[in-house]
Structure 1
Amino acid sequence: MSVYIENFKKFRPLLNELVSRDVKIKYRRSVLGVLWTLLNPLFMMIVLSVVFSNLFKFDIENFPLYLLSGQVIFNFFSDATNNSMGAIIMNGSLIKKVYVPKYLFVLSRVISSFINLMASFTALILVMLAMRVELHWTSLMAFIPLALLVAFSLGVGLILAAIVVQFRDIMHLYSVFITALMYMTPVIYPMSILPHWMKIVVYMNPITNYLVMFRNVMLNNRILSLWELALGVVEAVIALIIGLVVFYKKQDSFILNI
């Protein structure tokens, strides 16, 4: 373990450069730059709030906040995993030239997505203040579901990055999967409108648990239950372990398929 830690410390400056590069590329030639990370979820919240609050008449208090909090969680997972998927392929020229711990490319994509997550989280706080919604002390616990979500997303990202090197079709199939997953996550709709069997299906989606935890501490003034916390930890640890194992087993063949 000490060898891996020392190796990480050695290449930490490279990780910083990769994260900086990813952020700069995303907002290159953009007039507003990183500000779009704040504006994008706000604009989407306004549009979706107008459409769904009038079309479906959801009986949810502060529906814009309910919607925005869902976007904060799901958009991060979507962004982190989509970006991680091409991390190895996009850096193929560098991987062929010098030795670099290949997981750093995936980690840098997740960290850059985490920076966007913090901006979106800031947007949520600003909207809560603008709507004069009380910020409860439980909001301080928001870092727990967010940290677990980051670990879970990193695990999934490692799996995708390793598999996509050999099977490029997954990049196209994943866009369909992530769309289906969004509708299996209570981002827009309340769980109360679902039939019992559908609730079971939705709760089988790991993102649902992280979203429920996040909303409970941010909007509902509830502390995290031991069940929610234990389930979130188990999901994150399993995803991370599987991701590391799959990535480690396949990383030696990357250079043959890039």
Structure 2
Amino acid sequence: MDDKTATVETPEGEEGAKSKPREDAWYPPKQRDLAVIRQLVSKDFKLKYRRSALGVAWSVLNPLLMMIVMAAVFSSFMKFGSDSVVNFPLYLIIGNTTFTLLADSTNGGMGSILGAASLLKKVKINRWVFPVQKVLSALVNYAFSLIAVALVMLFFRIPLTPLALLLPVGLLLMTVFCIGLSFFLAAASVFFRDVMHLWGVILTAWTYATPIFYVIDILPGWMKTFENFNPLYLFITFFRDVLLFQRVPTLSLWIRLILFALVSLGIGYVVFHRHEHKFILFI
């Protein structure tokens, strides 16, 4: 039977039950993509905390516990704190949660096409949905980690100022940046599986090269120059500015964040779109 003439029967006994074209039973293309993304994000969220006694609480406890350990080690033993930092625990948790968002987004996005291989072989669906969905799933988990940030601010009596309203704007830019990276990594990992191992090494190096658990003051001059073009540090700086230092991010910072977000999305999408028709041959 031709798909266009195939019908879907309404439940028996329903008043005025009639058959209607199968194509009318589906969402329009754009709405269908959004519906798939919502379902996949919900599925990832449920799977992440399935059979966990504390469930979603781990998204709050994990950054808090990491902050406590790192604050004890780096401020007390290694003296990585500084008088320029108003509150070192808050400094740490903002940096750590931002890095976690980047790592979770890109790791998930990188394996999204390979992970959806069985579905892509059976159903015709826009492939860009899968990297985007993984980034949004990481963003949902990050939203819960913000509760931990709020608890630290409350504990140390650091007020929440109107500047916090800029936080969603920074998150939007970082989401765009992560989607771009995920597009690129998802495409690369389909053809070269080694990318998945290499990216773990890059993330580790990126962690230590970014002032997450130490202050930028201890770096030599050439490293400070490097940090001006380190997108991870720039996003962390933005979030620290609005939550910790309670100052308006500089115009230079805004420009660099926007450029990094747009360039990442542009390059990532072009690479992904150019090669996506070959994915089915390699997955």
Residue 35 (str. 1) matches residue 60 (str. 2): no
More helix by share: 1
The AA in structure 1 aligned to 2:52 is S
Aligned length: 253
Q: Distance in 2 between matches of 1:100 and 1:33?
A: 31
Q: Provide structure 1 residue ranges, at least 5 long, that are not aligned to the other structure.
A: 1-5
Residue 187 (str. 1) matches residue 209 (str. 2): no
Secondary structure in 1 matching 2:191: coil
Aligned to 1:198: 223
Per the TM alignment, residue 8 of structure 1 is displaced from its structure 2 partner at its CA by 2.4
How far does the alpha carbon of each residue in 1:92-143 deviate from its partner, in whole angstroms, 9 at most, with x for none?
A: 0000011011111111101110001111112101210121112222112112
Aligned to 1:137: 162
Aligned to 1:53: 75
Aligned to 1:161: 186
Residue 128 (str. 1) matches residue 157 (str. 2): no
Q: Distance in 2 between matches of 1:224 and 1:203?
A: 14
Residue 11 (str. 1) matches residue 33 (str. 2): yes
Secondary structure in 2 matching 1:186: coil
Bigger relative CO (Cα 8 Å, ≥ 6 apart): 1
Aligned to 1:3: none
Per the TM alignment, residue 201 of structure 1 is displaced from its structure 2 partner at its CA by 1.9
Segment drifting more, 229-238 vs 195-204: 195-204
Q: Distance in 2 between matches of 1:17 and 1:31?
A: 24
Secondary structure in 1 matching 2:69: helix
Residues 86, 245 of structure 2: 8 Å contact kept = no
Per the TM alignment, residue 62 of structure 1 is displaced from its structure 2 partner at its CA by 1.2
Q: Distance in 2 between matches of 1:63 and 1:160?
A: 34
Residue 21 (str. 1) matches residue 36 (str. 2): no
Residue 116 (str. 1) matches residue 141 (str. 2): yes
Q: Provide structure 2 residue ranges, at least 5 long, that are not aligned to the other structure.
A: 1-27
Taking structure 2 as the reference length, the TM-score comes to 0.87
Higher Cα Rg, which structure = 2
Q: Which runs of 4+ in 1 moved over 4 A?
A: none
Q: Distance in 1 between matches of 2:183 and 2:48?
A: 21
Taking structure 1 as the reference length, the TM-score comes to 0.95
How far does the alpha carbon of each residue in 1:211-247 deviate from its partner, in whole angstroms, 9 at most, with x for none?
A: 1111011111111221111110011000001111111
How far does the alpha carbon of each residue in 1:18-43 deviate from its partner, in whole angstroms, 9 at most, with x for none?
A: 11111122222211111111110000
Aligned to 1:171: 196
Aligned to 1:104: 129
Q: Distance in 1 between matches of 2:160 and 2:145?
A: 16
Segment drifting more, 186-195 vs 135-144: 135-144
The AA in structure 1 aligned to 2:100 is N
How far does the alpha carbon of each residue in 1:48-86 deviate from its partner, in whole angstroms, 9 at most, with x for none?
A: 000111112222331100000101211100110001110
Aligned to 1:78: 103
The AA in structure 2 aligned to 1:212 is T
